[in-house]
Structure 1
Amino acid sequence: MKKWLLMFLTVIIGIIVVAGCSKDDAASGDGKVEITYGFWDKNQVSAVEEIIKLFNETYPNIKVKTELTPYGQYFQKLETAATGGALPDVMWMNGAHVNQYAEGKVILPISDLAKEDNFSLDNYPKSLIDLYTVEGKVYGIPKDYDTIGFWYNKKIFDEAGIPYPDETWDWTKLKEVAEKLTNKEKGIWGFASTIANQEGYYNFIWQNEGEIISEGGKSAGFNQPETIEALEYYTSFIKEGLSPTQAQMTETAASELFSSGKIGMMLDGPWMVPEYKKNPDLNVTVLPKGKTRAVAIHGLSNVIAANTKHKDAAWKFVQFLGSKEAAEVYAKTGTVIPAYNGTQDAWMKSAPDLNLQVFIDAAEYSIPLPNVKSTGEIWQYEIDILKKAWSGDISVEEAADELTEKVNEVLSKE
């Protein structure tokens, strides 16, 4: 009887020990654990290091080892690591890949963790939370975000005697002013119709109440009348000689032409602030309005690997990365707009001469980029097919029909 009781107690103690270690198995004897943090932007290394230092003031027993990988190799490395069970415990994620990684059970849903710890998801723009929500579960805590602004060259406007653009502008006004700013003798185009989606035609499609991918990700909307109308308007600037051609913008990036005073107006993101603020002639305002006011939004989030051996430590770190304290560190650098509501003032102060408030305000009427499982593949189809319409080889309607067919094929396999 005593022998049986001893065996029973031994098993119970073993279970308790295992349960006690399950939060952070592989912890060292002194209770310290090490987690890895994967990201891709070398310009943010100093901010990451400062945040880790602040984190360790509260959690000295959790060591964070950083893994910096250039964006070009980042997701390829993650796929290899996922197959081998060697993912970073915490890592950056973007909207183009979150669906794929969530459905593949590569990353952890954090909705329940947030609820258990009373971690509020209301501290971030709803559109960003929606971007990282898959089948009703949130998988990432927003880190930063990008909306799109309407950039313009004050010098070109002044020389043409035209008031600067403002919130009263609509599509008609944009076309009218583009015609007046275009000066072939000086080699100046009024507007740049880039073949970019986030900082280009997506905004016009949504402003015209068109659709890119249907809600639920079941079908493409490129051949809808509203979408085609938006794409025809956007490419009309090229056809009418008011924008550089696709070939010209391939040879010299539109951003370079804009910075050098060859383009009067264009859409671009806040990631260009460090570059554009070097030219005192440049500024930014709200996008001209279509049927409705809409703008694309994207942002990065921090996610947790599903196979992490340190779930508790990883979650503590992700919470800190999503805190106001961490957001303020990023804001000071001026490189990104922190996602935590109310922490963007420091970012705006990094370029006080620019009207950066428009990027913050735009979050209120923003629409997240499509985030179906095959977003990356769909984006490639967009470039391959739409460039034929941008160059005038086929009509916008033909390109829209071809693109819709290809995208629907991709979506049907998900």
Structure 2
Amino acid sequence: MVNGRNVERRTILKAAGATAATLGLAATTGCGGDGGTSADGTVTIRYAWWGAEDRAERINKTIALFEKKYPKIKVKTDFQPYLDFWKKFNTQASGGNPPDVFQNAIGFLRKYDAKNVLLDLSEQVKAGNLRMDGFRAGLEKFGEIDGKLLGVPVGSNSMALVIDKPVYTRAGVKPEQGWTWDDFDAAMKKIRDKTGRAGDSGMYGVMYLYDPYLRQQGKAFFTEDGLGFTEADLTEWWTKAKKGVEEGVYADPKKVAQIKPKSAVAAELAGSEFTWDNFTVRYTSEGKSEYGLAPIPTTDGKKTGQYLGSLMLSASKRTQHPKEVAQFIDFMVHDPEVAKIMGYDRGVPATQAQYDAYKPADPVNKAIAEYEESLVEAGVLEPITPHPEGADICEAAFLRIAEELALGKRSVDDAVKQFFTESKTALGS
């Protein structure tokens, strides 16, 4: 799963240093043309993902292991920053030449299924080329849409509150599982009053926080057919965000924009920030403090509305090598050595075998594992809400319009109306 704001920040952080390497790798490994079969029976498949140099280095190591185990399967690779990846993928898919296997996310499954791009991997499971057992916390169901297996999870993550631990300690705030939004609001004021820092970076554009908030109330950001909330719901959410800025409990959006791509927490503008748990590593690399993970506030003290999100591997319906693609996916999600190489780069490993194989030694990754274990033990995890075709466009609109609102370019009413107008068009409703 991805969060637009944080994906953008993380991508920008890495892109500057990785651009030359990215272009170099793309040029040397190749990304076009159909995968084929050589005279000696060797098959070539194309694999594409988004990310930057550090992910590429890890993935190339895993591919070397795969090719050693399957010497008759060669893998051509291609990677891009997040936004560039989807631009290129759209062009390839429209031209009937998508990669054989590629990194994917929940917001794109229905979109590309409707465009007849994605291979239903169920037949490969039946044929024994792809195993769908041994996954953690129900993740094996994550890529199933309308009875079709369109994606296989490679890792998991969930929303969390990243906190500057010394700041929270000075303010006397100790977040615990089951704390409410009222508790959270009181904590933000304590942090402001006792430390002189905003309590949080702000919640205008965090779509994947707004979704659990809605789910706590029996709603959701998406239903199978469209949006699962009203204009009145969003007006309430964005009005609260605006009020928080005015009261100084949320960081000044203009200052937050000025320090990008650095986070507001690492820049000491805020004491905490909602994001995906596996993004925690960035705060340690950016900031000078000690950071930790805290649970999502609740409406009733029980229901968090959380689920495990995941990046996935999907296959092209046009691939000439479905068996080999399935074997590649199976290797990437089950082989223990892959987990030791990838670590938590794409989230906590999705299968138990890989989860057991990689035991992080550093405090940050240990905290990520402990956080997800705490969610399972607390029994708060639920199935993810299905995302309709057009969800990716809605997500981009939510992020853009929320930023315009935060920077004072739109009123709350105007922002809400604009979001619903664009979403109705994207969703065909």
Is the deviation greater in 48-57 or in 366-375?
Answer: 366-375
Q: Which residue of 1 aligns with 2:419?
A: 403
- Report SS of the residue matched to 2:67: helix
Matched, 1:158 2:169: yes
Matches within 5 A, 1:84-233: 84-117=95-128, 119-124=130-135, 128-160=139-171, 162-183=172-193, 187-214=196-223, 216-217=224-225, 219-223=226-230, 229-233=236-240
Say if 2:67 is the partner of 1:56: yes
Task: Report which of the two structures shows the higher radius of gyration computed on alpha carbons.
Answer: 1
181 and 327 in structure 1: CA distance in 2 versus 1, 3 angstrom threshold: same
Do the aligned residues in 1 keep the contact of 2:173 with 2:190 (CA within 8 Å)?
no
Q: Which residue of 1 aligns with 2:391?
A: 375
Over 6 Å off, 4+ runs: 392-395
Q: CA deviation at 1:129?
A: 4.7
Which residue of 2 is the match for residue 27 of structure 1?
A: 37
Cα distance in 2 for residues equivalent to 1:294 and 1:303: 26
Relative to structure 1, is the Cα distance of residues 88 and 393 closer, same or farther in structure 2, using a 3 angstrom cutoff? Answer: closer
- Select the residue among 92, 102, 110 that pairs with 1:81: 92
User: Is 1:40 aligned with 2:50?
Assistant: yes
In structure 2, distance between residues paired with 1:25 and 1:72: 25
Task: After superposition, give the CA deviation of every residue in 1:161-180 in whole Å (9 maximum; x if it has no partner).
Answer: x0432214211111111111
Contact 2:204–2:238 (Cα < 8 Å) also in 1 = no
Deviations 1:139-196 (A, max 9, x none): 1111123211112122222333x04322142111111111111049x65111221333
Paired position in structure 1 for 2:333: 322
- Under a length normalisation based on structure 1, what TM-score does the superposition of the two structures give? 0.81
Alpha carbons 1:190, 1:243 under 8 Å: kept = yes
Answering whether residue 300 of structure 2 is matched by residue 287 of structure 1, we say no
Residue pairs, 1:322-401, within 5 angstroms: 322-325=333-336, 327-332=338-343, 336-341=347-352, 343-344=354-355, 349-352=360-363, 355-356=367-368, 357-362=370-375, 365-366=381-382, 368=384, 371-387=387-403, 390=406, 396=412, 399-400=415-416
Q: Please give the alpha-carbon distance, in whole angstroms, between the structure 1 residues aligned to 2:296 and 2:423.
A: 28
- Take 1:45 and 1:387, find their aligned partners in 2: how far apart are those partners? 31
- Partner residue of 1:70? 81
Residue correspondences, number = 386
Secondary structure of the corresponding residue to residue 243 of structure 1? coil
TM-score (structure 2 length as normaliser): 0.78
Structure 2 unaligned regions, length at least 5? 1-33
Distance 1:71 1:401, change over 3 A: closer
Alpha-carbon distance, 1:411 to partner: 1.9
Asked whether the equivalents of residues 151 and 265 of structure 1 are also in contact (C-alpha less than 8 Å), the reply is yes
Name the structure 2 match of 1:244.
251
For residues 154 and 168 of structure 1, what CA distance do their matches in structure 2 show?
Answer: 19
How far residue 115 of structure 1 moved from its aligned partner, in angstroms, is: 2.7
Determine the C-alpha separation between the residues in 1 that align with 2:361 and 2:36: 43
**Alignment check: 8 A CA contact 1:38 1:92 kept:** yes
What is the Cα-based RMSD across aligned positions, in Å?
A: 3.2
Given the superposition, is the C-alpha separation of residues 343 and 102 from structure 1 closer, same or farther in structure 2, using an over 3 Å criterion?
A: same
Deviation at 1:379, TM superposition (A): 1.8
- Do 2:129 and 2:323's aligned partners in 1 also have CA atoms closer than 8 Å? no
Q: Is the 8 A contact 1:297 1:369 kept in 2?
A: no
Aligned to 1:262: 269
The CA distance in 2 between the partners of 1:78 and 1:302, in whole Å, is 14
Distance 1:58 1:137, change over 3 A: same
Gaps of at least 5 residues in structure 1 are 1-23
1:318 partner SS: helix
Q: Percent identity?
A: 20
Contact kept in structure 2, 1:208 and 1:226, CA below 8 Å: no
